[in-house]
């Protein structure tokens, strides 16, 4: 965690994710880019991924994997953390499992296992994250949108808990035992799963005479008005796509090394879409119409959110 010495003040980024492997599939190249720049980065992982399926065919029937998947997923997270160069903290909640077309309401949640993350009271689940925010004092927090990016119960809960924790951490009247209040200057949603990106990668792959892994995605894509023109921030981070892929492969139970993640050659990816994309949703800094830096508006003298 960062020093409290103002002379040693550095930019700090907190990325809040639902499961181990999410930090490597969403925003990992940007994370590696900022680590290389000298930014303090902490990944917060809400659950242990205990109910995730083994998606790598080479490991799907391995007795050692099936005997203790939670321990293996923690070891995978340790390796991914080393590759990305980040700090990492577990919130310690229990994976809720996948439910198709999940909606966060009493009816849907009641179908989930007792005691899982998505069935917790949001305010209670937000407390440990609020404490981490007050301890780490991030200038930027990234997380998922209201839909979770896709409707996994834990991704939706991750959004709800993150936003509640941001509010609680900033409020001096809330849980003073959790530390001095800290209002995060900038908050972003991940927007990597956006149609223009998939279209660009799809077309570039076809133009190279290769089969595109994005055809099925585009065939079943449903355009929603709320998803139009939401990207505000594109981080140029193509130099770190290889680091991203190495971190993904570290989650060997979750990632098939021969799967669609890795089917588009790197030179096509870097030429067709060399950024990772985000949506700025909260900011106390001056906001431009478009950004190429999560810390835009914060670099000319760090703000002191606790003083507000």
Q: Which of 292, 146, 285 is nearest to 232 (CA)?
A: 292
Q: How confident is the model at residue 62, as a pLDDT?
A: 86
Higher pLDDT, 273 or 258: 273
> What tens digit of pLDDT does each residue of 18-39 get?
999 999 999 999 999 999 999 9
Q: How confident is the model at residue 4, as a pLDDT?
A: 42
Q: How confident is the model at residue 308, as a pLDDT?
A: 41
CA gap 130, 262 in Å, rounded: 36
Q: Which of 180, 182, 280, 191 is nearest to 228 (CA)?
A: 191
Q: What is the Cα Rg of the chain in Å? A: 19
Q: Which two tokens stand for residue 254?
A: 């979750």
Q: How confident is the model at residue 302, as a pLDDT?
A: 59
Q: 2-6, 53-57, 254-258, 300-304 — which is least confidently predicted?
A: 2-6
Query: Which helix (H) or strand (E) element contains residue 183?
Result: none
Q: Which of 138, 141, 223 is nearest to 189 (CA)?
A: 141
Banded model confidence at residue 264, pLDDT cuts 50, 70, 90: very high
**Helix (H/G/I), strand (E/B), else coil: 16:** strand
CA gap 155, 226 in Å, rounded: 18
CA gap 281, 124 in Å, rounded: 24
Higher pLDDT, 90 or 261: 90
For the segment 190-209, the average pLDDT, to the nearest whole number, is: 96
> What tens digit of pLDDT does each residue of 56-112 get?
888 988 888 888 899 999 999 999 999 999 999 999 999 999 887 788 887 788 889
**Structural domains of the chain ordered from first start:** 11-193+226-301 (3.40.50.10320)
Contact 280, 229 (CB under 8 A): no
Banded model confidence at residue 187, pLDDT cuts 50, 70, 90: very high
Strand partners of residue 278: 190, 233
Q: Residue count of the chain, please give it.
A: 308
Report the 10 Å Cβ neighbour count for 299. 11
Contact 135, 193 (CB under 8 A): no
Q: How confident is the model at residue 3, as a pLDDT?
A: 43
Report the share of the chain in percent with pLDDT over 90. 72
Q: How confident is the model at residue 183, as a pLDDT?
A: 97
Q: How confident is the model at residue 261, as a pLDDT?
A: 83
Average pLDDT, the chain: 91
Q: What is the DSSP string of 104-139?
A: -SHHHHTTSPTT-GGGS-HHHHHHHHHHHHHHH--S
């Amino acid at each position: 965690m960062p020093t409290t010495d103002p002379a040693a003040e550095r930019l700090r980024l907190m990325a809040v994710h639902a499961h181990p492997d999410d930090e490597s599939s969403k925003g990992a190249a940007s994370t590696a880019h900022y680590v290389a720049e000298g930014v303090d980065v902490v990944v917060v992982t809400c659950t242990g991924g205990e109910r995730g399926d083994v998606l790598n065919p080479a490991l799907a029937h391995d007795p050692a994997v099936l005997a203790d998947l939670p321990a293996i997923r923690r070891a995978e997270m340790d390796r991914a953390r080393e590759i990305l160069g980040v700090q990492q903290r577990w919130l310690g909640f229990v994976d809720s499992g996948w439910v198709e077309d999940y909606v966060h309401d009493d009816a849907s949640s009641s179908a989930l296992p007792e005691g899982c993350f998505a069935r917790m009271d949001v305010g209670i689940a937000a407390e440990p994250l609020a404490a981490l925010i007050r301890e780490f004092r991030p200038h930027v927090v990234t997380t998922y949108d209201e839909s979770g990016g896709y409707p996994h119960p834990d991704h939706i809960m991750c959004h709800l808990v993150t936003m509640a924790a941001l509010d609680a951490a900033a409020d001096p009247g809330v849980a003073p035992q959790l530390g001095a209040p800290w209002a995060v200057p900038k908050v972003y949603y991940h927007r990597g799963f956006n149609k223009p990106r998939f279209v660009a990668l799809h077309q570039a792959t076809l133009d190279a005479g290769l089969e595109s892994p994005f055809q099925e995605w585009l065939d079943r894509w449903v355009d929603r008005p709320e998803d139009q023109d939401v990207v505000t921030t594109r981080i140029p981070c193509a130099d770190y796509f290889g680091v991203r892929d190495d971190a993904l492969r570290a989650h060997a139970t979750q990632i098939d090394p021969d799967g669609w993640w890795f089917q588009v050659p790197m030179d096509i990816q870097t030429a067709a879409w060399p950024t990772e994309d985000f949506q700025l949703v909260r900011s106390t800094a001056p906001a431009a119409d478009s950004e190429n830096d999560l810390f835009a508006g914060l670099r000319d003298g760090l703000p002191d959110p606790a003083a507000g």
